[in-house]
Amino acid sequence: MNKKMKKNILTLFAFAAAFAFVESSVVVYLRALYYPEGFYFPLKLISQDHLVVELIREGATIIMLVTAGMIAGEHRWEKFSYFIFTFAVWDIFYYVWLKVFLDWPVSIFDWDILFLIPIPWIGPIIAPVLISLFLITASILILLKERGVFRPSLFAWLSTAAGSGLILYSFVLDTDATLRLAIPQPYRYEYLVTAMILYCIAKCGLMSALCKIKICELMCFECFQFADRIYGCTVGSIPVLPESCKHTRRSFEERRNFCLPFIHFHVDNRNKQQRQEH
């Protein structure tokens, strides 16, 4: 990870923690107004004006977090990585500040209103915290892989989509509690566990792809010869391993296909630097 990425991560971490302070302070006021004796279920009906403001505020919160990621990142996946990193840190520190202000939650299994759009999401705090921890690690892995070419496999897409669908369903399935102000039914932890397993499977695929990028960064001499012939790369500008390295025992076609994404990435960066110099 280069210095710029480290700087962006530290900056976004500070922004997310500070923004979480602002978010939690609003909740402190709302709870003083509607739950002066302490937050609990069943939920209380809030005024229409306050509900509209809360819906707009939550939408504005997401826009601000997305904007922070877009400003920090240069490429599509880099922007997305910074966004989910900022979102995850913000989500965790939201509960940290509530603990400081209200000494709540008492435990990570306490229930909370997680989101309001399009209908209220409810669940134990352990669920969003686990998801946030996963998002932080996933964002770092994607940022590391952005040094090469990040192309999630179809299986990774399906695993992540299925896990996200299960998580979302577990948050909104109890409409009696969210829309009719009833006592919530027990949380379906099996959905959370299954979703986290699917997330871990997707992350393993990402880590495997990252390892390939690391190998590709140490490409052998023939790969650079290929790049030099086709693209006019300056071989001397990149570390070159001896022809006897393990990688050279692949066929030329295998080496070319394996190294081509990294070569494209390197050439694009070189051309970009040359344009900036001129």
**How confident is the model over 47-73, as pLDDT tens digits?**
999 999 999 999 999 999 999 999 999
Q: What is the pLDDT of residue 173?
A: 95
> Above 80 in pLDDT, residue 213?
no
Which of 86-95, 142-151, 258-267 bottoms out in mean pLDDT, i.e. has the lowest?
Answer: 258-267
> Above 50 in pLDDT, residue 249?
no
> Above 90 in pLDDT, residue 129?
yes
Q: Report the mean per-residue pLDDT for the chain.
A: 82
Which of 96-100, 177-181, 186-190, 271-275 bottoms out in mean pLDDT, i.e. has the lowest?
Answer: 271-275
Say if pTM beats, i.e. exceeds, 0.85.
no
3-class SS string, the chain? CCHHHHHHHHHHHHHHHHHHHHHHHHHHHHHHHHCCCCCCCCCCCCCHHHHHHHHHHHHHHHHHHHHHHHHHCCCHHHHHHHHHHHHHHHHHHHHHHHHHHHCCCCCCCCEEEEECCCCCEEEECHHHHHHHHHHHHHHHHHHHHCCCCCCCCHHHHHHHHHHHHHHHHHHHCCHHHHHCCCCCCCCCHHHHHHHHHHHHHHHHHHHHHHHHHHHHCCCEHHHHHHHHHHHCCCHHHCCCECCCCHHHHCCHHHHHHHHHHHHHHHHHHHHHHHHHHC
Q: What is the pLDDT of residue 237?
A: 42
